Chain A
């Protein structure tokens, strides 16, 4: 996982400075990692509107919890943990409360453009297949197969174990493979 940047400061330095209250340092971290937060949220929750909410909340929560961050993992691993947890909470909340806000996704023109840019038949089929997975399997697929994180990192982010991650991935791959074979 990247822990540095073109501007010469690595994440650890920026985290230390941000912990001391330097907002500019946190702004740098947000610039670097907003993409990660949004991408992971989008792939877990499956729509732009919720993904933006989740990414925004996660980055604000990360700032609030920064004093408790002890640097035992990379900042990005820690952020993955926050985003993943909030994204799963969002899925569970939406399962409990049926949303009537059907227009929300089209309320913003820029978001609509991004949806259009990303529309692609094959990509949609993969996205749909991932969205059909149970949340626990979806999370490990997103983190391992889409984000490229190791089993150990996924286990750390999900507060799980490597064998548990492996087991979820076995089942998820079988389900995804079946869905893709049926689609083709």
Chain B
């Protein structure tokens, strides 16, 4: 350690004065705060006429300048940081949001969004269904999926898929005058059949909630 300069010694004495006050009565801590907050030039009425305050401000300005320089120093971010974060996030989402079928020629993965799209299209094609939307489900498998994805909302959260098992919640709006329970049963039947046929899923559960009734489509 080098010998403290005169400036440093003066600053040190100010910081360790017994009553933490300048000769004029001003608070040492408040003057240091003023300088450290970059307001050394904004003198109040007292400071404009007080040699003690002005001297203390000058000392603290010198003392604190290395901190201000340090704050401005750019910090180089490791290049690999962004990629590492996105890789982890990607793994969190995608490891569970795929169905998986192992065949003799390799693995087949089908994204959950594909499962969701097929389910919604199948539901929407049922006569009497006006709008089909997916939403999160409370089933055991869906909860497992939700836990695995840290309950992250996903645009395709209508579907919980693990391996060759899927749980799908569909919220439907049906046309006025339809036999609601018959529409619901037909949606379940068609969606299950479609997913088993086109995706190859073995176990499919379709929960249907009909929560709106709309006028018949002009078509």
Q: Tell me the A residues contacting B by CB distance below 8 Å.
A: 19-23, 26-27, 30-31, 34-35, 38-39, 42-43, 48, 52, 55-56, 59-60, 63-67, 110-111, 114, 117-118, 120, 122-123, 125-127, 145-148, 169-170, 173-174, 176-178, 180-184
Beyond A34-B77, A64-B150, 15 extra complex contacts between A and B, CB < 8 Å: A19-B153, A20-B155, A39-B77, A67-B153, A110-B79, A118-B73, A123-B73, A126-B70, A146-B71, A177-B32, A178-B12, A178-B15, A178-B16, A180-B8, A184-B2
Main secondary structure of the interface of B (DSSP, over half): helix
Check B66 against A125 for contact (C-beta < 8 Å).
Answer: yes
Check B32 against A21 for contact (C-beta < 8 Å).
Answer: no
Let me know if B102 is at the binding interface, CB within 8 A: no
Let me know if B157 is at the binding interface, CB within 8 A: yes
Let me know if B82 is at the binding interface, CB within 8 A: yes
Let me know if B126 is at the binding interface, CB within 8 A: no
Q: Can you name 28 A-B pairs with beta carbons within 8 Å?
A: A19-B153, A21-B93, A21-B156, A21-B157, A23-B90, A30-B82, A30-B86, A38-B81, A48-B78, A56-B88, A64-B92, A64-B150, A66-B152, A110-B79, A110-B80, A118-B76, A126-B69, A170-B33, A173-B36, A174-B29, A174-B32, A180-B64, A181-B4, A181-B8, A181-B15, A182-B4, A182-B8, A184-B8
Tell me the complex Cα distance, A120–B27, Å.
Answer: 33
Least CB distance, B84 to chain A, in whole angstroms: 5
Which residues on A sit within 8 Å (CB–CB) of B8? 180-184
Main secondary structure of the interface of A (DSSP, over half): helix
Within 8 A of A (CB), among B12-36: 12, 15-16, 29, 32-33, 36
Residue of A nearest to B7 (CB): A184
Let me know if B1 is at the binding interface, CB within 8 A: yes
Tell me the complex Cα distance, A11–B75, Å.
Answer: 22
Band of interface residues on B: 35 or more
Within 8 A of A (CB), among B122-145: none
Check B33 against A169 for contact (C-beta < 8 Å).
Answer: yes
